[in-house]
Structure 1
Amino acid sequence: MNDLRETEEEFFVYLLNSLLEYQQNPQIIYPIFQANLDKLTVDFAQRLRAVEPQIRDSSPEESHTLAIVLLWLSNLILEFPLGDKTANIAIAKTGYQCALIFYTRETNPLAWAEITVNLGITYEEDPQADPVQKWEEAINCYQKASQVFTRTTNPERWASIQDNLGNAYRNRQQGEAEINLQQAIQYHQKALEIFTSENNPRLSGMSQHNLGSDYLALSRLNIANNEQYLESGIKHYEQALQTLKREVYPDLWAMNQLSLGNAYSVRLRGNPYENYEKAQQHYENALSVYTPATNPYYCQQVKAGQARLNQLKTDSNRETPEESSFVIQVLKLTLASDGDQQKVFPFLEKNLDQLNQNFIDELVSFISALEKEKSQINIYQAFMMGIYPFSSLMMTFPKGNREINLDIAIAGWKIVLPFFERSQNYNLPSDFSSLCGIIKLELGKAFYEKYENRWGELDVNVEEAIKYFEEGFAALNSNHTLDRELYGESRISCRVKLGISYFYRNQIKGDPGDIEKAIDTYKLVLNSGCQENTLQWVQMNL
């Protein structure tokens, strides 16, 4: 352990010295990052905290040196494409926070404002941040920075911050969605008062695209004029294409093609066939840039859009009793909103009486029938992509009957689990199979909660909890992608619940082996760097 710490300490000193010598030179620093990915961890971010007292207490020259080195480190790792995204963001965030000890608004307002903007970006991109609070933190940073970078003193930097504020308000979870989106529109319109296709075609096109996304998000709300909002969104996307040319900005051009595909796929005005053809063409355009090798995430986004488009086309050509099914309405809303709880939860709250055993039976029956229709494979895949986020939503839905909510989530997870296990059969990206481990841990959590509340057959629930926890962790240990996906306290919490489940099973069956398994599981928790309250609980129960 001491050797390991010395090695990490040596790397820390080596990295800071390299930054001091080569500054923000990615050609020198990025290979150092790449050769030491195992050391660029969340613990490394905590190690940076040790520099805080030195910045506060050293001479002005030494404090400046430390602050600027941490600033360079943060700027570089924020854009670094490799390694653990969570760790990279944690390091960047900590570095910016330490740098702000030296760079204050009073002593160096421009540097302070620039760092504050970047700090806002780290809040946005932090995978482990609270999904509600992170947007509040980001907005706060951007608003502070805009007090220094004003429209009068630095119009282009001010306009960029308006763009950041617009994107943050579009994604904001706190407050009313419509009000947030209207605010986002105002910010992006302000940015376009500065950025024009003549003076800055790239940023002008990006602002037009962002404005289109604001209107598209508005059109998805159950409010008046949503059809007109969609038309406005399409207009701004098409304006963005006037400046974001493929030969100059291929990635931004492809992003705009994807957005236009999404917009035309749900358009109500005009000829439905023409809308379908336009959507399909825009998706194909996007795929000419986004490939599984160069950009797997956005490539999958396009393919998911195509699957939804084919589903919508098929649905519009048939009339069946299923069209009015509450199950299908819920899944369509989940797909259309990308699993946005601000859109799905209000709909569920209005229909609590339909969240019952009959819902589960209809869901299972509908998917089973759809799977057998070989000609409907794209629709089947689209609905499976909807069941996955819907099951996650039911795990956190705060209204209605909690037992029923858990049963619905369990049914959904059990439906999608074999689908993701056979992902290669549907030409899906290979990393989809890694989701199986996450799904199994979610199933373990659901059965554990049922046992804790004495719902259903207790012996069955505890057996199912143990089974899925064990299988989930087995997948976790064999898949590095999964290890990053289910991270930190969420993973530790599942491990603790597995230990408790062994103890519960011992109470039911009296097998002393379960006590040994519980002890071994708790020991793993103790070695995983858990939070203090979890640590104390485990130590008390060992």
Structure 2
Amino acid sequence: MDETRAQAYLQLIHTLLDCPNGDEPQILQDNSELLDRGFLEACELVAENLAQQGGDNGANFLRNLASQLAQFIESNDDPESENPQEYANFILELLQAEGDSNSDIKVIYPMLAERQHLLNARFAHILPQVAQNLIAEHPDAIEFIVAMIENLSIHINQFPRGNRSKNIEIAITGYQIVLNNREPGSEKYAQTQNNLAVTYSDRINGSRADNLEKAIEFYQAALTVRTLEDFPEKWAETQNNLAAAYSDRINGSRADNLEKAIEFYEAALTVYKLEDFPEKWATTQNNLANAYLYRINGSRADNLEKAIEFYEAALTVRTLEDFP
């Protein structure tokens, strides 16, 4: 998006955050020309920044607003005007490219950018049909097919352009297809559960509280396979992700959620040793510092001392020279 429009989005967001309760509908009506996919992306970016700074109320307001506006924008997109076969062909081309290029984003991203207008609800609706047809036609290649669908889902989820909320919904659909075609309890099954959890943590549509509960559920399910004994590094990764989800959690007691987050971060550090995983160690030290910064239980003075201690530990790796 151009810089002028981006600034207009931010100005509208700040106006909505600062206005008296009840004035929002009129403000939105007066600025209806700005209510598009770019505005939804701006809402999510500002919400993420607010959440990181402890502004949960503002973050939740923006996410709920974006969810409601997404439905409005979706209803005005008229996906019926697009040819379903065009979507099917596009999906097949993407899956072919995933396989041929060994899932190289230098190949996949330009394809997504060229036809990003097709990354919408219709794409998510047709993806399962294409997958079902491919599996029926090539029953001996199911593992390869679902692997390409998972790689495509990862790429669409991480694609920096288009409508963020729609990209996430497509990724969730793709991961569900993969999960339905993998052996429960397998290593790859747990991998997909973890991917689904990450995506639900970032989800814009739906209730933020419900999305985080689903993320926690998928992380915990992944940990039944990703055990400390069998997959220590994956176990630590999921512990760290679970800690982040509890740090953001809306349901339950805020104090209890932060205690669980601290517990999971500390668990991750039993694997993420400084000598073995210096960058991940430093990131987890920083995350743990954040948790202590906002901790409710215990002495406020002691919590701040611990936060400072963890931040300073992180800075032994995150130096100005290496990670400015």
Same fold (TM over 0.5): yes
Aligned to 1:110: 187
SS at match of 2:93: helix
1:352-411 CA-to-partner distances (Å, cap 9, x unmatched) read: xxxxxxxxxxxxxxxxxxxxxxxxxxxxxxxxxxxxxxxxxxxxxxxxxxxxxxxxxxxx
Q: 1:181 aligns with which of 243, 258, 268?
A: 258
1:12, CA displacement in angstroms? 2.4
1:61-118 CA-to-partner distances (Å, cap 9, x unmatched) read: 2422331221110122222222211111111111111011222225xx1111111111
* Structure 1 unpaired stretches of 5+: 251-542
Q: Which amino acid aligns with 1:226?
A: R
Q: Which amino acid aligns with 2:257?
A: N
Aligned to 2:317: 243
Please tell me whether the aligned partners of residues 159 and 191 of structure 1 are also in contact (alpha carbons under 8 angstroms).
yes
SS at match of 1:194: coil
Equivalent-residue separation in structure 1 for 2:323 and 2:171 (angstroms): 27
Q: 2:115 aligns with which of 22, 36, 49?
A: 36
Please tell me whether the aligned partners of residues 56 and 101 of structure 1 are also in contact (alpha carbons under 8 angstroms).
no
Q: 1:13 to 1:207 in 2, by over 3 A?
A: same
* Structure 2 unpaired stretches of 5+: 1-79
Q: 2:89 aligns with which of 1, 5, 10?
A: 10
Q: 1:70 aligns with which of 132, 149, 152?
A: 149
1:155, CA displacement in angstroms? 1.1
Aligned to 1:201: 278
SS at match of 2:316: helix
Q: 2:208 aligns with which of 131, 147, 157?
A: 131
1:162 aligns with 2:236: no
Q: 1:80 aligns with which of 133, 136, 159?
A: 159
After the TM superposition, which residues 379-398 of structure 1 pair with which residues of structure 2 at under 5 Å, given as runs? none
1:92 aligns with 2:171: yes
Please tell me whether the aligned partners of residues 77 and 92 of structure 1 are also in contact (alpha carbons under 8 angstroms).
yes
Please tell me whether the aligned partners of residues 45 and 90 of structure 1 are also in contact (alpha carbons under 8 angstroms).
yes
After the TM superposition, which residues 530-541 of structure 1 pair with which residues of structure 2 at under 5 Å, given as runs? none
TM-score (ref. length: structure 1): 0.43
1:442-471 CA-to-partner distances (Å, cap 9, x unmatched) read: xxxxxxxxxxxxxxxxxxxxxxxxxxxxxx
- Counting matched residue pairs gives 245
After the TM superposition, which residues 358-397 of structure 1 pair with which residues of structure 2 at under 5 Å, given as runs? none
1:126-166 CA-to-partner distances (Å, cap 9, x unmatched) read: 11131111111111111111111111112111111110111
Equivalent-residue separation in structure 2 for 1:95 and 1:3 (angstroms): 21
Q: 1:232 aligns with which of 292, 303, 306?
A: 306
SS at match of 1:132: helix
SS at match of 2:228: coil
Equivalent-residue separation in structure 1 for 2:322 and 2:149 (angstroms): 33
Q: Which amino acid aligns with 2:271?
A: I
After the TM superposition, which residues 227-376 of structure 1 pair with which residues of structure 2 at under 5 Å, given as runs? 227-250=301-324
Please tell me whether the aligned partners of residues 87 and 126 of structure 2 are also in contact (alpha carbons under 8 angstroms).
no
Q: 1:105 to 1:4 in 2, by over 3 A?
A: closer
Q: Structure with the greater relative contact order (CA < 8 A, sep ≥ 6): 1 or 2?
A: 2
SS at match of 1:243: coil
TM-score (ref. length: structure 2): 0.70
Please tell me whether the aligned partners of residues 92 and 130 of structure 2 are also in contact (alpha carbons under 8 angstroms).
no
Q: Percent identity?
A: 30
Q: 1:19 aligns with which of 83, 98, 106?
A: 98
Displacement over 6 Å in runs of 4+: none
Q: 1:148 aligns with which of 225, 237, 243?
A: 225
Equivalent-residue separation in structure 2 for 1:115 and 1:155 (angstroms): 17
Please tell me whether the aligned partners of residues 208 and 237 of structure 1 are also in contact (alpha carbons under 8 angstroms).
yes
Aligned-pair Cα RMSD in Å: 2.0
1:275-300 CA-to-partner distances (Å, cap 9, x unmatched) read: xxxxxxxxxxxxxxxxxxxxxxxxxx
Higher share of residues assigned helix:
1
Please tell me whether the aligned partners of residues 135 and 141 of structure 2 are also in contact (alpha carbons under 8 angstroms).
no
1:195, CA displacement in angstroms? 0.9
Q: 2:269 aligns with which of 167, 175, 192?
A: 192
Equivalent-residue separation in structure 2 for 1:86 and 1:20 (angstroms): 26
Aligned to 2:29: none
Q: 1:147 to 1:184 in 2, by over 3 A?
A: same
